[in-house]
Structure 1
């Protein structure tokens, strides 16, 4: 089974072929360096033999699929996040070049199992615990197929509204429906897919082989298996982050061993305040560098305060930040008032009160975008307003977790694997009521 992955969009794309690649429309063979440039709806193809102007789309097919790879220069990873950077990446399979929004888009077409080897090595260290690698192989495969099925169901349908914007409320949620020309993208918006250079350990291939074709299902349907870096101690309901579709297997679960009592009602402010200021005994609460190095890639290890964190803004800093991030002038921010929280304590709706206007914003990702130059770690935070002579001077946000918190908690799953849980037990913990089934090839 093949999938298509959107890698890079730019006015100019530089490719280096390791092996011979045949361009399908002209049957021309290409090797080594190739520069592709957008030229008013066409593509200028330049190599040592000269320059040709061709129509889109183009498809470059390897003549020796097992040994040939291609490299793309300056691929951005962590787009709009605090770890954003560029790197060169190598890929197996075919390279397709299409037109998208007035520029070129590089799309990689390859076998799903080859894709998964890179995904689980990109989402975490390739040296991760074997049961954790198996866990991620199953959920990455399942998530991909669920997105395909969703896209197929929505063909020909009117696009769903994903925002509410009026004088009192700005509610928006973000998913992956904007990918019209390929199955998934290569960054955190979908699943990290950073090429074959991330596949550095035999354990990755072994995990793929050990779970080959295994998917997670609920009542016979493939599961939309979401995951985030660290839930902060309890996971969130799907419908509180994305559209109002209830998935029983994506409900809030404490990140604790089965039958462990959990007495917090984090939808209430008093309980939420206690929760974020404590450090409860949950799976994802770990400072063990060996465990973290097993699950986090090098740039993820730059983040050390993911379980509990604090951010402080002066009133002026926060006012300018929100104005720039939302494109709305609230004046001087006077209050940040929690309106609605999910069971993990993540804010679904937050009222922003300024000297010029007041508005309720949500859902969780919009709140995170509004309150950080990149993305706030999570929306599971409390607000402490600082005053001087009864005048607002700043805001301290004290929070829990890293990411949306729905589904599998990667740090928690790493600790479970370290403690001896099998991948089946880990999946059962984070996706209650599900079954592991063998994918039926069509």
Structure 2
């Protein structure tokens, strides 16, 4: 098969969805919607579309352009959901526009070819200054991840099972985040999945070439498409999949030492003393770099001011931390007495953290939930140690978190891969480094 499959990308859900068509669009019922501005709302649990002249259009869910080179534009698309740079913007897309009712809102979905989707993703996720080999590696990862998610969704639907994303008791709250939000489309357009902005931003010629040169290529392990993952900076070691997401082991997503000096280490960062020594120092790693040329390949403009991602520090007063945890968790712990590591993964990332308070003691996990509770947006990573300082009557008045890495640390380390690309490694060598035992295969 040489034809790219079509996928459905969830863009935005609003009570009033404003959109514009750049050419004549045709509905499934062969109704014609001419170029112009429209508004979509839910009326009596049904989708209703109005033209700018307030004429009600008898439009069905799926709208296809007569001119494949044309576009549709969506207003007030939220990007960077939950991050410090969250903002609204108007975005343009090629392909088909699908409108559905979703919890009293109108959900806009872009039905688009997978390879066309990737050209936008790679242009959005990576800089045009990136090395060709880094871009090709990223194209393969993004393609593999998406196809694996589609296969997983189809498997869950056919199996009829309930996908669990948490384990909660009176003493523990353990949550992970992955597929729970996306039952009506294949993938979302934000950082929760992969950043996709249609044709809003100019597509990088190098990104387009990387997608074209790897057309249909995926990573496979034992004949199955890999659930390939990536994060900004692993901090020196990558993490096992099961320590971050659902409790399923993928042999190609296990600990990798991010160095050219070998794939193993005698250090066991699951042990607290070893983790503390590792985090408080800066061992050699591909991702241990301050080279702005390399960092600019991976970090967007608003993140390039961040230079302390390999090793970082965050400080909170007692009041700041107590109020933050209460706000982010919805639980009143009282004053915070201690942040106690309970369980770490192979990269030193905390899987479980026990919060001791004067009113409540509770264990939280997995890594993203820990990061959410300890930051206004997301803590850089859960690989950190805590100094409890200035005790008064047994209660610390200051907390210093010293941490390693940026993101969940599973799979490809973007900054490490960028360094490898600059050092002359091929995209297959980069992929082989981060996904042990996986093989490249042309899927279509």
Instruction: Report the TM range for the smaller structure's normalisation.
Output: over 0.9
Query: Deviation at 1:140?
Result: 0.5
TM-score of the two chains, using structure 1 as the length reference: 0.95
Deviations 1:47-97 (A, max 9, x none): 333331657x522211011x1011112211111122222222111100111
Show CA shifts across 1:317-368 (max 9, x none).
1111111111111111110000000010000000000001111110001100
Q: Does 1:73 align with 2:75?
A: yes
CA distance in 2, matches of 1:123, 1:108: 19
Aligned partners of 1:176 and 1:189 also within 8 Å: no
- State the SS of the aligned residue for 2:390: strand
1:279 and 2:294 are equivalent in the alignment: no
Partner of 2:133: 131
Whole-angstrom distance in 1 between the partners of 2:365 and 2:253: 20
Q: Corresponding residue for 1:382?
A: 385
Cα offsets for 1:370-418 (capped at 9, x unmatched): 1011111110111111124454102111111111100011111111001
Inter-CA distance 53–315: structure 2 relative to 1 (3 Å threshold) = farther
Of 113, 119, 122, which aligns to 2:121? Answer: 119
Deviation at 1:282, TM superposition (A): 0.6
Whole-Å Cα distance in 2 between the matches of residues 349 and 54 of structure 1?
Answer: 53
| Aligned-residue offset at 1:180 | 1.0
The answer to which of 162-171 and 224-233 deviates more is 162-171
Corresponding residue number in structure 1 for 2:256: 253
Which residues of structure 2 form unaligned runs of 5+? none
Hey, what's the Cα distance between the residues in 2 that align with 1:170 and 1:140? 31
Gaps of 5+ in 1: none
Equivalent residue number for residue 393 of structure 1: 397
Check conservation: 2:6, 2:113, Cα contact below 8 A.
yes
Query: Which residue of 2 is the match for residue 150 of structure 1?
Result: 152
Q: Partners in 2 of 1:261 and 1:150 — Cα distance?
A: 31
**Matching of residues 16-415 of structure 1 within 5 Å:** 16-25=20-29, 27-52=31-56, 54=58, 58-65=61-68, 67-156=69-158, 157-259=160-262, 262-389=265-392, 390-415=394-419
TM-score (structure 2 length as normaliser): 0.95
State how far apart, in whole Å, the 2-side matches of 1:258 and 1:97 are: 52
The runs of 4+ residues in structure 1 deviating greater than 4 Å are none
* SS at 1:299 equivalent: helix
Structure 1, 331-340 or 305-314: larger mean CA deviation: 305-314
Cα distance change, pair 30–181 in 1 and its aligned pair in 2 (3 A): same
Equivalents in 2 of 1:327, 1:318: separation in Å?
13
Query: CA 1:160/1:48 → structure 2, altered by over 3 Å: closer, same or farther?
Result: closer
Distance 2:202 2:403 in 1: 34
Given candidates 415, 423, 432, the residue that maps to 2:436 is 432
Q: Give CA deviations for 1:6-28 in whole Å, capped at 9, x if unaligned.
A: 00011112212222222334612
Root-mean-square deviation over aligned CA pairs = 1.6
